[in-house]
Structure 1
Amino acid sequence: MQRKMLVGFGAMLFATAAHAGIPVTNDVECPVGGENFQTVGTASCSNFGGSQDFLLKVSTSCDFVTRLPQCPGNRLPMYKKFSDDEIKRLESYLQSREFQSFSSRSRYFIAKKVDDFLVSGGSEKVVSIYFLLGGLQHDRGNTLSDPEYLAFLDSFDAASLAERSKDDLPYIRLVIAYTHFVRKSYDEAQKLLDLVKSSVPERENKFLTTYITRLESCMAETGETSCRSTEQVMPRKKTD
């Protein structure tokens, strides 16, 4: 489970480095409006084997792929296959003042709001805590600096994290703790770190304890200077 969490929150295929990282262009049609555009994918992807950063992302040979396709014109993120009924509802919603009020924000933010709208009409909820964490990893410039987006994570923590797998929960809490660090909500961050400490014995997971130690040092400003979200938690040792 540690590998699942640390490799990334979205689905990813891994292959040998010799065949990895080859871009593949895909033609896509927007389900609302029929606009045609292109996305970039890959036939395979390999993990470079480096340490995870503070948002639990590792570098791969396919970081260039389109993680969440978004219609260029109407800004609809294609985060799922929409039913005919949902498409009909979206045709009017995408023109609404409500949608226009957030249509310039992260595609992950927009997907969350669109999902909330569809759920209110009886659709099954799709956007999960993992989806939102993926937004931090793959669109951090627009999500990590957005207080309302981070508040989505807080609501998941309060309402549903207790129901998550015991293996997943420590890693989810680490990332949310980091978002509190970014917001300078150090007390809230420490509460989550303490929960992780109490649930996972130090000797059982070096990554968790290293992450906690470094983030606590960042908050205390005791000499830890590498606190950017892209910094590796456990940098690989250089070899001669």
Structure 2
Amino acid sequence: MKLKTILASLALGLGLTSAVQAGIPEKVTRQCPFGFGKATYTATLSCSSFGGRIYISGKQPSSCEFVTVLPLCSKHGVPLYTSFKKGDAKLLRQIVKTEGYKALLNKTRFERAAYIDDTLQRLNPEQRFIMLRDGYFHEGNKTYSDPAYLKLFKDAANAVLKDFPKDQQPWFVASAAYIQARSGEVEKARRLLAFTDRYKGEGADRFRVYARALRACFNDMSAPSCDPYTRIDLK
């Protein structure tokens, strides 16, 4: 059975790619709603993942890693994380004026999206988890070093772990373990990965390959082989 890692696909599902061709990167500019300016981003119509390989961060390699995840509006840095509705205008204009939102302008777009969604409540728990994990995949220079972001991520992960299919839980937990270790919480990462040791389900052999590579990083996360984009061959 093909490895079921969750791909970051929110931006592709928001109607942001209708004008481009499959597999071909293209710059697109669209008008943001409610007078928030314009968003310019790179898009494509479809993507394919590369089975049998995974980045050590837990992200699965794909043919369209150039795609912009959560395009930003030119005014107030509003991330297009959902299809905003007409009735959102007043709330959004209030949110971007708050001190809490302004304090996030120098942080990641993913944290701003989570802040907005605390009010709009558009994302279900799984979508929120995927979005925040995308922050590590796409803005690691800002997220791995940010304790506040790690707390957001851990809260989101704890909210959805029990609902994940059994054959996906080990990959889910291992990805979270890498994030913990990369963020300086190595002992917590060890305990998380130990949670997966009893897994005997489908794909267990491939998971063990990944888990060994991840454990080898816990002694020195700065090693080149522990870079988030190190590819692990699971075959």
* TM tier, smaller: 0.7 to 0.9
User: 1:44 and 1:155, CA in 2 relative to 1: closer, same or farther beyond 3 A?
Assistant: closer
1:114 to 113, 116, 138: 116
Are the equivalent residues in 2 in contact too, given 1:51–1:58 (CA < 8 A)?
yes
User: C-alpha distance in 2, partners of 1:27/1:204?
Assistant: 41
Find the counterpart in structure 1 of residue 132 from structure 2: 132
| Number of residue pairs the alignment of both structures matches | 224
Deviations 1:37-68 (A, max 9, x none): 32221133344557211222244332222221
**How many percent of aligned residue pairs carry the same amino acid?**
26
SS where residue 135 of structure 2 aligns?
helix
Whether 2:80 is the aligned partner of 1:81: answer no
Deviations 1:18-45 (A, max 9, x none): x863123333111232412322211333
Amino acid at match of 1:190: R
User: 1:37 and 1:160, CA in 2 relative to 1: closer, same or farther beyond 3 A?
Assistant: closer
Where do 1:12-161 residues align within 5 Å?
21-47=23-49, 51-119=53-121, 125=124, 127-161=127-161
SS where residue 89 of structure 2 aligns?
helix
User: C-alpha distance in 2, partners of 1:34/1:180?
Assistant: 35
Q: How big is the shift at 1:170? A: 1.4
Whether 2:156 is the aligned partner of 1:166: answer no
Structure 1, unpaired ranges of 5+: 14-18
Whether 2:231 is the aligned partner of 1:229: answer no
User: 1:136 and 1:48, CA in 2 relative to 1: closer, same or farther beyond 3 A?
Assistant: same
Are the equivalent residues in 1 in contact too, given 2:129–2:160 (CA < 8 A)?
no
User: C-alpha distance in 2, partners of 1:37/1:156?
Assistant: 27
User: C-alpha distance in 2, partners of 1:2/1:191?
Assistant: 27
User: 1:228 and 1:138, CA in 2 relative to 1: closer, same or farther beyond 3 A?
Assistant: same
Amino acid at match of 2:187: D
Which segment is superposed worse, 99-108 or 147-156? Answer: 147-156
Structure 2, unpaired ranges of 5+: 14-20
Report the structure number with the largest CA radius of gyration.
Answer: 1
Find the counterpart in structure 1 of residue 16 from structure 2: none
User: C-alpha distance in 1, partners of 2:37/2:170?
Assistant: 42
User: 1:58 and 1:5, CA in 2 relative to 1: closer, same or farther beyond 3 A?
Assistant: closer
Q: How big is the shift at 1:90? A: 0.9
State the TM-score, normalized to the length of structure 2.
0.81
Q: How big is the shift at 1:189? A: 0.9
Whether 2:209 is the aligned partner of 1:207: answer no
User: C-alpha distance in 2, partners of 1:74/1:173?
Assistant: 35
User: 1:203 and 1:129, CA in 2 relative to 1: closer, same or farther beyond 3 A?
Assistant: closer
Are the equivalent residues in 2 in contact too, given 1:10–1:134 (CA < 8 A)?
no
Are the equivalent residues in 2 in contact too, given 1:53–1:229 (CA < 8 A)?
yes
Amino acid at match of 1:169: Q
Deviations 1:99-134 (A, max 9, x none): 101122111111111111323xxx665752122122
Amino acid at match of 2:113: A
